[in-house]
């Protein structure tokens, strides 16, 4: 069955509707003596025949550099026209409860069956921002985190 076709015979609310293009890796960084955190802009696109709700489900440390030299580190995931979600607070991963980032229109730009085609956005864009106090940092620190996203189809 083609989950990009809104008329496909897939049961409503079935996870088989989910067909989303998502970046596999994202980065945030600070350069030189700057104490601000920034990132490129990333896009999540819904290709499915049903709208999809995107939720930030988790943010966890995968492997750590030595953050003990950093006095403070705060990073937020910023959704364009959506919420700002703190993902690191005082150096520790901080998503405790899932946070809805937005609902993406289906492959025809609809949030419900009655909408006109191409009236709603199929894309969600986000990036990271934040700041830190360097403390005793004297060399590059590399951290790796996992951002867990959940995608749930919306029934007509």
Q: Provide the pLDDT confidence category of residue 63 given band limits of 50, 70 and 90.
A: confident
What is the pLDDT averaged over residues 127-134? 92
The C-alpha atoms of residue 131 and residue 151 are separated, in whole angstroms, by 29
Q: Are strands 36-37 and 144-153 parallel, antiparallel or unpaired?
A: unpaired
Q: Which two tokens stand for residue 88?
A: 């690191």
Residue 20 lies in a domain: yes
Q: What is the pLDDT of residue 94?
A: 81
| CATH number (domain holding residue 143) | 2.60.40
Residue 1 lies in a domain: no
How many structural domains is the chain composed of? 1
Angle 88-94-95 from CA coordinates, rounded to 5°: 120
Q: What is the pLDDT of residue 150?
A: 97
Residue scoring higher pLDDT (66 or 38):
38
Number of Cβ within a 10 Å radius of residue 127 = 16
Domain span including residue 41 = 15-153
Residue 59 lies in a domain: yes
Residue 3 lies in a domain: no
């Amino acid at each position: 069955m083609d989950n990009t076709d809104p008329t496909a015979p897939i049961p409503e609310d079935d996870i088989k509707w989910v067909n989303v293009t998502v970046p596999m890796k994202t980065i945030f960084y600070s350069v030189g003596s700057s104490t601000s955190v920034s990132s490129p802009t990333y896009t999540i696109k819904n290709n499915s025949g049903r709208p999809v709700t995107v939720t930030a489900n988790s943010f966890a440390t995968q492997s750590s550099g030595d953050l003990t030299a950093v006095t403070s580190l705060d990073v937020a995931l910023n959704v364009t026209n959506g919420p700002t979600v703190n993902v690191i607070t005082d150096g520790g991963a901080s998503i405790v409860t899932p946070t809805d980032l937005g609902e993406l229109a289906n492959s025809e730009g609809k949030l419900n069956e009655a909408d006109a085609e191409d009236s709603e956005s199929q894309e969600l864009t986000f990036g990271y921002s934040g700041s830190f106090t360097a403390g005793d940092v004297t060399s590059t620190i590399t951290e790796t985190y996992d951002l867990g996203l959940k995608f749930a189809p919306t029934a007509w």
